[in-house]
Structure 1
Amino acid sequence: MIARWSGILPLLFAGSALAGPRVAVDIGHGMADPGAISARGRAEFLFNRDLGEQLRAALTLHGHDVVPVNFAGDVRVLADRPRLAAGSDFFVSVHHDSVGPPWLAEWTWEGRVHTYTEVKRGFGLFVSAQNPDLETSLRCASTIGAVLRRAGFEASGWHGRKHVAADAENGVWYYDNLVVLYRTSLPAVLFEAGVIKHRDEELELLDPARQARMADALATGIAACLFVTGKPAPD
């Protein structure tokens, strides 16, 4: 599906800033529920917040208004997240991925035993078939995935073990029962930036320069998708 967007991607990658719709950026997990724990013992929420801050900056540079959701990590009720995004045109939830116990091994880092994997890495994008605007959600997910791949990021095929593909080439999968995707009136995508249980990818995901590149690709994909929808720019 990357060819489908070839007509607009060169324009966007040329650095043209597009005034765009209002985007809600949700930081996955929180202080009470930190999410997965990385191969070196860092909480997923911290990874999510770091990338979310970069994404907020990148979207702002693209001319979007950004509605921050759960940046302080204090929103405990999942259904509150879409509610806090009300008035936005698009909802993206930022996460980092893990892997199940059968594919984990132990190692020692700085005197502590942690678990890691070598079988799964790469990004993934999830949509819910129950989302009220599935068409836009799918279009945005595929566009974001295509831009990420063009920027050199790798989509994980591992999700095919549990999820039905929506656009496997660009890393898009159905995950229907995610509250933040279907309990909303907005087109919505959940983004897994990479696998923090993978020791090498964890270090890549910690790199601020790489985070900025990924955030720029995410913002470019969102701008491309919402530009195609013809939604008006915010006042």
Structure 2
Amino acid sequence: MAAILACLLLTALAPLPARAAGTVAVDVGHGLWDSGAISARGATEFDFNLNLARVLRPVLEARGLTVQPVNFDGEIESLQARVDAAAGSDFLLSIHHDSVSSFKLTAWNWMGEDLDFADEDRGFALFISHRNPRLEESLACASAMGRALRARGFIPATHHGTTAAGTPRPWADEENGVRFYDTLFVISHGAMPSVLFEAGVLKHRDEELALRDRSRQQAMAQGLAEGLAVCLGEPLKAEGQLPGPRN
């Protein structure tokens, strides 16, 4: 009996998951009119984005956050419409999955379909913009999400150092996988702190399969939700650097 009481006491004293009050606009990247990247096995990025967003929504709600869904039906037709749909929220998280530059691709045939893959680059990425009026809060929340993802074994991507045109894309918080990407419309034009999340690289054949796995999606959603709950629940000091904007 004493052992049982001790276990109950320890359970009662265990810290509860971080909770917060607030509204998070969850934007499903791409849509029915623009399906985004194509995976190594021919699936659309929009399908991956929607699947992860559907897993994330109840996890955020379990943390005490209200979800403001953006483009869950895939019908949205412009970037400005996404920003407008997120208006009034406390935070915007845009869900995406990554591809790679065309010169890295290798042709292959899968199930009779001619496709391409790239097995070099992988990992998650979080992007913020100097053009967002709530830059420091955007960085603090991105860092919190990246930290929570790393704690669950997810690895930040390292291949976003330059744009296709060769323009540097600097780190904001290298340890937690956060970079500046100033020209991304949805994180640059809203009034709320905003982050664009790339869950992984669809052209990487092994990572594509991992990104389909529901238990892995759940773990990723838990990491994102934990970071946002901590960030929105209590003000955080940005860990990364805030250098001047780049074109």
Distance 1:181 1:18 in 2: 24
Distance 1:65 1:193 in 2: 22
1:203 to 190, 202, 209: 209
1:128, distance to aligned residue in structure 2 (A) = 0.5
Distance 2:114 2:97 in 1: 21
Contact 2:18 2:230 in 1 (8 A): no
1:15, distance to aligned residue in structure 2 (A) = 4.4
Counterparts in 2 of 1:21 and 1:41: CA distance versus 1, 3 Å: same
Q: How does 1:67-146 map to 2 (within 5 A)?
A: 67-146=68-147
Distance 1:15 1:114 in 2: 46
Task: Give the aligned partner of residue 23 of structure 1.
Answer: 24
What amino acid is the match of 2:188?
Answer: Y
Task: Give the aligned partner of residue 224 of structure 2.
Answer: 218
Question: Pairwise CA RMSD of aligned residues?
Answer: 1.3
5+ residue gaps, structure 2, are 1-13, 164-168, 237-247
1:159, distance to aligned residue in structure 2 (A) = 1.0
Contact 1:125 1:171 in 2 (8 A): yes
1:182, distance to aligned residue in structure 2 (A) = 1.0
Task: Give the aligned partner of residue 187 of structure 1.
Answer: 193
2:179 to 173, 177, 187: 173
Radius of gyration: which is bigger? 2
1:216, distance to aligned residue in structure 2 (A) = 0.8
What amino acid is the match of 1:77?
Answer: S
Distance 1:220 1:18 in 2: 8
Determine helix, strand or coil for the equivalent of 1:160.
coil
Contact 1:17 1:61 in 2 (8 A): no
Contact 2:92 2:195 in 1 (8 A): yes
Q: Deviations over 1:179-211 (max 9, x none)?
A: 101110000000000000000000000001110
What amino acid is the match of 1:216?
Answer: Q
Aligned length: 218
What amino acid is the match of 1:215?
Answer: A
Determine helix, strand or coil for the equivalent of 1:82.
helix
Contact 1:17 1:63 in 2 (8 A): no
TM-score (norm 1): 0.90
1:229, distance to aligned residue in structure 2 (A) = 2.3
TM-score (norm 2): 0.86
Counterparts in 2 of 1:38 and 1:15: CA distance versus 1, 3 Å: farther
1:37, distance to aligned residue in structure 2 (A) = 0.1
Q: How does 1:32-51 map to 2 (within 5 A)?
A: 32-51=33-52
5+ residue gaps, structure 1, are 1-12, 231-235
Is 1:154 paired with 2:160?
Answer: no
